[in-house]
Structure formats: structure tokens, C-alpha cells
Amino acid sequence: MKEEHKVNENSKMAQLEQFRADDKRKKLTTNQGVKIAEDEFSLKAGERGPTLMEDFHFREKMTHFDHERIPERIVHARGFAAHGEFKLYESMKKYTKAKFLQDPSVKTPVFVRFSTVAGSKGSAETVRDARGFATKFYTEEGNYDLVGNNMPVFFIQDAMKFPDFVHAVKPEPHNEMPQAASAHDTFWDFVANNQESAHMVMWAMSDRAIPRSFRMMEGFGVHTFRFVNEEGKAYFVKFHWKPVLGVHSLVWDEAQKISGKNPDFHRQDLWESIESGDYPEYELGVQIIDEEDEFKFDFDILDPTKLWPEEDVPVKIIGKMTLNRNVDNVFAETEQVAFHPGHVVPGIDFTNDPLLQGRLFSYTDTQLIRLGGPNFHELPINRPVCPFHNNQRDGYGRQTINIGQTSYQNNSLAQNSPSPASVEEGGYEHYQEKVEGRKVRRRSKSFKDHFSQATMFWNSMSKPEKQHIIDAFSFELGKVNNQSVRQQVVDMFANVSLELATAFAEAIGANPPKEGGSKIMKSSPALSQDHTVKRPETLKVGVIIGNGFNTADVTDILKSLQAKGVYTEIISEQLGKIKGSDDGEFDVNHTFLTGESVLFDALYVVGGSGVSKKFRQYASCFIHEAYHHFKPIGATHEGEKWLKAEGIKNSPGVVIEKDIKGFKESFLDAISAHRHWDRQEI
Ligand code: HDE
């Protein structure tokens, strides 16, 4: 008989509640519970005398402090997380017996951590990098971790090369520079000498590497996994997360400036959207290939540098995840959470992707050093919401008090418990794939084509997206000192596209490629962000406004934007209130010093009859920057004259309309479009 452990969306919160501690209005104590009478001065022999060894409170306070840090993650150190729930749209019974994918009425609690890859724990968030997108589903059959990225492929094909790849992309060892950046010699030297990286490098140089928000990026399981159903039939499966708000990016100049102005840009965005009830949502999609069709593709479906074009293998949307609660404590939850692609439940299984196989080793290994021993599964954030029983014992920090005499199998003293479960009882059985072969250190010939899908990615890009890729290569290789490395990269990417390689060769003073070019004509429209969902909700409009504004008009415009879910924030010369006609007033959210054009998705320029010359100059900087970042700019009243003076009034995405109703509609359309790429240089 299968034991049932009912789980609902509140199960994890109920469990965590037992561990939460609220110190408010409590008396200060030591860790032993002894009340403390004095917490500012150490115990001394005389006011100016030596500190005494017997000061147990000082010793405890200082020792704990001395040990507060744990090693940061070797990769994905910089991350931010939130709680939420997952709800299925339709039963996946046909493909998998995974319990949390059977019943659309069940909500499964989840914990999701987003991250950059290369930077250290304190690095900026809007750097050019892949983003981690790791989800822990707390299911009634145990934890299932979908440990993915926001790009569907990876730099290498075999886990053996992961330490090499990471050494190459991390800051260079002799001077520890640059931080959180791939724009340096060793990364590009690795790329040119490990050409399996070509496809992923195209993604890394694209707009996907500079997401606007964690809420506006896709997630991919990357590897091919297996679904196994109740009858034991298996299917190949790839996992996708699709953000309801669409996939949107920053522009590179903007991303770099944000790194300075607000290094916490992405976590703040996630935190604030959850606090204000605009919960991030992602639909879960699966691509499924029948086992019989394993060899029907012009690439190897086990190769993690290949994606399955959505036009060839459609993504079936099967459910939705909503992130609806911020963490209470970043260390306890976000830092201590331990993901592992090997955390699977019955009905989900692995394939022989050599990258995946290596990951199955690495993740436990890394937690042992990072979390200090084998009991990290007992940390509140990592505990499954179903019971767990086995004969593992002891180790640093063990919390469970296992009662009884036996901790071995087989035993008679405890009737052989805890006893293995049969498959019918929910016991995990590995898919019985038939394998045979010689022990060899080799790579399959079917993994040899490194360029076709890189070209397909290039072919799928819109004109502005292609230009961004050329600019990214030009920037990154422009930072590479070694001329030979620069040339090697040009020659390598000539295999992807001559147009691309020639364009960035020029920018970096390398020789244009003499040979190369690709015969691949295929494109996959789903890869272009040009075709993504475009919606105005949660986009942030900076309102540049000062004393003497028209209260009725501006209130009307702001209200209509807010009604569509747009955030409006007032930027002015100083904090406090600004005054408009008819005793109207607004609270100022940012000054020109604390707010920056790069921190907003759009600008609404109002001005005011009573503003200073300096105000006007600040406004001009904001307008110019927003214009060059292709952002929507709306203007009314004094603002209208200012835009005219800047010479941009007839540009795409610049909205100036006398009629307020017309303005509201056109400005909302311009905001919904996100960026207006077809602007002239001014
Ligand atoms: Fe990871 N990866 N990885 N990775 N990875 C880690 O585990 C590793 C790979 C990913 O928010 C580490 O707990 C190897 C692909 C995410 O906590 C480590 C290989 C994908 C996170 C590790 C890969 C990922 C990690 C570091 C090649 C996308 C952050 C700390 C074989 C599918 C999870 C840790 C979080 C973290 C190893 C490649 C995603 C060292 C050996 C491909 C999202 O175990």
C-alpha cells in the first residue's frame, strides 16, 4: 500500500513556521538562554583594566560572529530567492507518474533561487552572464529540483570540462580581475580552444544575458530528462519556464550603468514586486520526444549544446508557478538552500547526457563543503515536507534524534524497518535503459557539430538583436589584450556567420575572416525576443515633475497608467512635496541624485512652471539617456517644449500629444512596446 502524505501550497510554510524566531519585545539572552544584563561593555578588571576571560557573554558573542561566514557557491554565488506555488493545468499521467504532475487541483509549494553565474556573492546583478533559475518543488513524494538556467544550452558537453570552463570565466588568478565579467583573455581563450562553446556564446552575447528582471526571463532545464509513466513507458523531456510578462532585456550601456547605480537591481525588483502583490508568474512547458524518435533529429538529443527548436517539437504548457512570498531571512533560506539535479521523484529520470551525469556528482559534493557536513538536508529550507526515514546517522550538526536500537539493514530487531518500498508502494526505480559499450574516454561523433545551431540562433535574430550581438562581441573582445586570442575568436565565429565575424573583427582591429560562412538557413522564430509577449504591467515610469504642474491633467494621466498596472514614481529636485495648480501636491519618490534614467522603463516629462534652470539640465540628461536606451518618453505641458528643444519630438516611442485622452492611449502603447529600436541617432 502506498502511504499518502497530502501536501498543499501551505505545507512548506507550516513547516518553516516551527523554525522561525521573532526577537521583538524579548529579553536578550545567551545561546544558553541566560538573560544578559549588559551588552555593550566587556567584563574588565577595573574601568580601564584588562578584559577578563570569564566573560562568557563576550566570548560567545565574538566566537559566533567569527564563524558567521560560509564559503560562497563556487558558481552562482550571487542569488536571490522567493517562495511560491506550482499548479498544474492538466494531468501529465500519460507521460509521467510524478505525483505532483497528476492532479490539477493540487498546489505544490516551491522555492526558487535566481542567480548570476560568474560573479562573487557581492557582485553587481546586471552583468552580462547566464542566470540560474533553480526551483525546488516540495512534493508529497519528496523534493524535486529543477536546476536550470535562463539559456537552453551550455558551454561544454562533458562535465569533465566544467572546472576548466569555470576557471577560465572567473576573475584571472594572478590579479583577480575582472569581477563578474567574461570580457577578458582567459574566457575568450577558452572559447576559441573549446569550440563546443559556440552556441552558448551566441546566447551569452545576446540580449538574453542582460535580463530586465528575473520576472522577465525564461528558464530551461537544459538537459534532456526522462518522464516515466505508471506502465514504465519512458519519454524524453525538456523543461521550460515561460514568464507571463514575456522575455525582456536591458541594453548593454544601461546594464553597465545600473551595475553602479543599483547593484541590487534584480533582487530589489523581485522583492518589491512580491511585496506589492504583483506576483511573478511563469508557465511550465515541456517538450516531449518519444523514445522511438531518439535518432530522428539532425543533432543528438543528449547533447547539452543543442536545443530542440520549438517549431519542430512544440512546447506544451502544463502549469503555472507563482512566486508570492519573500524570504524572512536571506542566509537561512536563500544561502542555505541546496539544489541538486539529482533530487528527482518517481516518474522523472535521467539520460546519458554527460554534462548531466557529472552534475549528479557535483552538487552533493559542493554542499558538503559549503554547508559543513552531510546533514544539510535537515536545514529547514531543505527539508522535504513528507517524512523521511533511513539508516543514515550522526555527522556535524545532526538534529534528528533517531530513536531505537537499529541503524542497519537487514535487521530483525526492528522488523527490518525502515524497509525499502516496492515500486507499487512508491519506491523509486531507475529506468531500465539498456546500455552496452566499451569503457572509453571519448565523445560521441554525434556531438561534433558545434556551429549549425549557433548559426540557427543568429539567423533567428531580428536586426536590432543582431546588432546587439555584434556590439557585445566587439565590447568583450575589445577588452581582450592578446591579439592572437582575438583573431582566433574571429576565425571561430566565421563558422557561425561571416557577417557577424567580419563586423566585430573590424571593431577589434583583427583581420576579417578569410574563410568560413555557414550553409545553415534554418531559423527558429521562438528564439527572438521580438516575438515575445509585450505588456505594460509593472513597468516603471519615472515622472519628471516640479512645482507649478497642472494637477488635473497629470493626476488623470498617472491614474490611467496605474490602472493598467504601470508603476509611476515621481522624480524632482528634492524630496518632500511638490505643489501643482488648485492646491494639488505629490510626494516626491526620488531626487535627480537618487533616481536615474537607467532605473526606469520609461519617462514621463511634465516639468512645471516653477522649476529652476538646474532642474531643466537634470531633466535633459534623463531624457537623453532614456532616448539612447530606446525607452518610451512621453511629455506634456512644459515637458513638451523640452522634448522639442532636444530635437527628438518626432522619434518612435516619443509621445507628445496635446489631447490628454490621445496622449494616455499613445503613451500606454509606447510603454507596452518596451523599447523602440528604430530611433535615429541625435
Ligand atoms: Fe551548476 N553548479 N554545474 N549548472 N548550477 C552549481 O552547486 C555544475 C550547470 C546551476 O541557486 C553548484 O550548490 C557542474 C548547468 C544553477 O543554489 C555546483 C556543471 C546548469 C546553480 C555546480 C554545471 C546549471 C548551479 C555550485 C557541469 C543549467 C545554482 C553551488 C557539469 C541547467 C543553484 C551549488 C542555486 C550551481 C556544478 C552546469 C545550473 C558546483 C559540475 C548546465 C542554477 O555544484
Same-domain status, 504 and 545: no
Please state, in angstroms and rounded to a whole number, the distance separating the CA atoms of residues 341 and 148. 9
Instruction: Write down which residue in 482, 499, 530 finishes a domain.
Output: 530
Q: Is residue 1 predicted with pLDDT exceeding 60?
A: no
Cis peptide, bond prior to residue 418, ω within 30 of zero: yes
Q: Is the CB of 115 under 6 A from ligand 1?
A: yes
Please state, in angstroms and rounded to a whole number, the distance separating the CA atoms of residues 652 and 666. 11
Same-domain status, 546 and 505: no
Please state, in angstroms and rounded to a whole number, the distance separating the CA atoms of residues 319 and 313. 18
Which pLDDT value is given to residue 151? 98
Q: Following DSSP, what letter does each residue of 89-119 receive, concatenated? A: SS--TTT---GGGT-TT-EEEEEEEEEESSS
Please state, in angstroms and rounded to a whole number, the distance separating the CA atoms of residues 129 and 206. 10
Q: What is the mean pLDDT of residues 301-310?
A: 98
Q: 523534493: which residue's cell?
A: 143
Residue 522 lies in a domain: yes
Residue 579 lies in a domain: yes
Give, using CA atoms, the residue closest to atom 25 of ligand 1: 76
Written as nine digits, the cell of 2 is 502506498
Residue 314: pLDDT band (50, 70, 90) is very high
Please state the separation of Cα 416 from the chain's center in Å: 45
Residue length of the chain: 682
Same-domain status, 246 and 328: yes
Please state, in angstroms and rounded to a whole number, the distance separating the CA atoms of residues 606 and 552. 13
Same-domain status, 587 and 503: no
Q: Is the CB of 339 under 6 A from ligand 1?
A: yes
Q: 154: domain CATH number? A: 2.40.180.10
Written as nine digits, the cell of 479 is 577588452
Encode pLDDT of 47-85 as tens digits.
999 999 999 999 999 999 999 999 999 999 999 999 999
Question: What is this model's ipTM?
Answer: 0.98
Instruction: Write down which residue in 378, 404, 424 finishes a domain.
Output: 378
Same-domain status, 289 and 334: yes
Distance (angstroms) between ligand 1 centre and the Cα of 249 equals 23
Instruction: Write down which residue in 378, 402, 429 finishes a domain.
Output: 378
Beta pairing, strands 281-290 & 142-149:
unpaired
Distances (CA, A) of 631 to 531, 653, 661: 18, 7, 21
Distance (angstroms) between ligand 1 centre and the Cα of 369 equals 15
Encode pLDDT of 217-231 as tens digits.
999 999 999 999 999
Q: 470: domain CATH number? A: 1.20.1370.20
Q: Which is the catalytic residue, given 76, 340, 468, 674?
A: 76
Domain limits for position 523: 451-530
Output the 3-class SS for 451-486. Answer: CHHHHHHHHHCCHHHHHHHHHHHHHHHHCCCCHHHH
Please state, in angstroms and rounded to a whole number, the distance separating the CA atoms of residues 391 and 590. 58
Please state, in angstroms and rounded to a whole number, the distance separating the CA atoms of residues 410 and 682. 79
Local structure of residue 333 (DSSP, 8 states): I
Q: 647: domain CATH number? A: 3.40.50.880
Same-domain status, 513 and 641: no
Which pLDDT value is given to residue 591? 97
Same-domain status, 171 and 207: yes
Encode pLDDT of 428-438 as tens digits.
999 999 999 99
Same-domain status, 547 and 524: no
Please state, in angstroms and rounded to a whole number, the distance separating the CA atoms of residues 48 and 55. 16
Encode pLDDT of 228-263 as tens digits.
999 999 999 999 999 999 999 999 999 999 999 999
Which pLDDT value is given to residue 3? 65
In the chain, DSSP finds a helix count (H) and a strand count (E) of: 16, 18
Residue 508: pLDDT band (50, 70, 90) is very high
> Under DSSP, is residue 624 helix (H, G, I), strand (E, B) or coil?
helix
Q: What is the mean pLDDT of residues 404-411?
A: 97
Same-domain status, 349 and 305: yes
Residue 625, phi then psi, degrees to nearest 5 = -65, -45
**Residue 77, amino acid:** A
- Ligand 1 binding pocket mutation candidate from 70, 72, 74, 76 (most atoms within 8 A of CB): 76
Q: Is residue 270 predicted with pLDDT exceeding 90?
A: yes
Q: Is the CB of 342 under 6 A from ligand 1?
A: no
Number of domains within the chain: 3
Encode pLDDT of 161-204 as tens digits.
999 999 999 999 999 999 999 999 999 999 999 999 999 999 99
Beta pairing, strands 348-349 & 540-545:
unpaired
Alpha-helical (H) ranges within 564-612 are none
Buried b vs exposed e over 81-107: b needs ≥16 C-beta within 10 Å?
bbbbbbbbeeebeebbbbbbbbeeebb
Written as nine digits, the cell of 254 is 544601461
Residue 425 lies in a domain: no
Which pLDDT value is given to residue 658? 83
